Chains A and B, each alone.
Chain A
Amino acid sequence: GESVGLHLPTLSVQEGDNSIINCAYSNSASDYFIWYKQESGKGPQFIIDIRSNMDKRQGQRVTVLLNKTVKHLSLQIAATQPGDSAVYFCAETLVAGGTSYGKLTFGQGTILTVHP
């Protein structure tokens, strides 16, 4: 079946370092990918998204890279801060006709710990 998985379950970095979180997806039909951040006791919070017609997208301190050839997605966080400590999930979905969002398929998640 369809699945989205992560290579590393945990990542520990020092404050100020850059962080890279990786994700592999298996459904080649997926055309929309999202990174979510989930803090303890909270729901997933949107970070950044990317469509399959792009290979890179930048936000504030975050960059998402998409490699469709190897079905790989990564999230780069620049100058990581203690407030970035959370679980990070990648998710994939199919955009039905461009006007609605179907189900999200989530990966296992990576725990990011940032040490002061």
Chain B
Amino acid sequence: DAGVTQSPTHLIKTRGQQVTLRCSPKSGHDTVSWYQQALGQGPQFIFQYYEEEERQRGNFPDRFSGHQFPNYSSELNVNALLLGDSALYLCASSRTGTALVNSNQPQHFGDGTRLSIL
């Protein structure tokens, strides 16, 4: 059973460019969340997608946008890249509608895409 997969694993861009990161959720999951993790920090919530719509958004500018496809996979797009966008971008998946009981893992994380901006 494949877990959350992200591509690419590493990416180098220059300021002003645009980037698209991809995520395939764990089998059986229908909800995808994206996080940005700067070096030495905890992950910061960007947004969450469910039923192909953005359901919740964190404190990130409009340069950050996303999309969810009918097969539940998702993309994160960042426009007009800044040096400060250099980070590890994590995708997490979960299942909406499942009754929450103890021991349910809330979100399964992928290993991320390391984005470096030069």
A95 in contact (CB, < 8 A): yes
Interchain nearest-CB distance for B98 vs A (Å): 7
Contact residue among A46, A49, A54, A89 (Cβ-Cβ distance under 8 Å from B42) = A89
**Which B residues lie within 8 Å of A91 (CB)?**
42
Select the stretch in A13-21, A66-74, A102-110 that faces chain B: A102-110
Closest to B97 in A: A99
Assuming A101-B94, A107-B42, A109-B41, is B106 touching A93 (CB within 8 A)? Answer: yes
Interchain nearest-CB distance for A23 vs B (Å): 11
**Which B residues lie within 8 Å of A93 (CB)?**
106
Q: Do B100 and A95 touch (CB < 8 A)? A: yes
Per-residue interface assignment for chain A, residues 27 to 46, with 1 indicating a CB less than 8 Å from any chain B CB and 0 otherwise: 00000101010000111111
Contact residue among A50, A102, A106 (Cβ-Cβ distance under 8 Å from B48) = A102
A-B contact count (CB 8 A): 77
Tell me the interface secondary structure of chain A in the complex.
strand
Q: Do B102 and A43 touch (CB < 8 A)? A: no
B4 in contact (CB, < 8 A): yes
Tell me the interface secondary structure of chain B in the complex.
loop
Assuming A32-B106, A42-B111, is B43 touching A102 (CB within 8 A)? Answer: no
A to B CB contacts below 8 Å, 18 in the list? A32-B100, A41-B111, A43-B4, A43-B90, A43-B92, A45-B109, A46-B105, A46-B106, A89-B43, A99-B96, A100-B31, A100-B94, A101-B96, A101-B100, A102-B48, A103-B56, A103-B58, A104-B43
**Interface residues in chain B, defined as those with a beta carbon under 8 Å from any beta carbon in chain A:** 4, 31, 33, 35, 40-45, 48, 50, 56, 58, 90, 92, 94, 96-100, 102-112
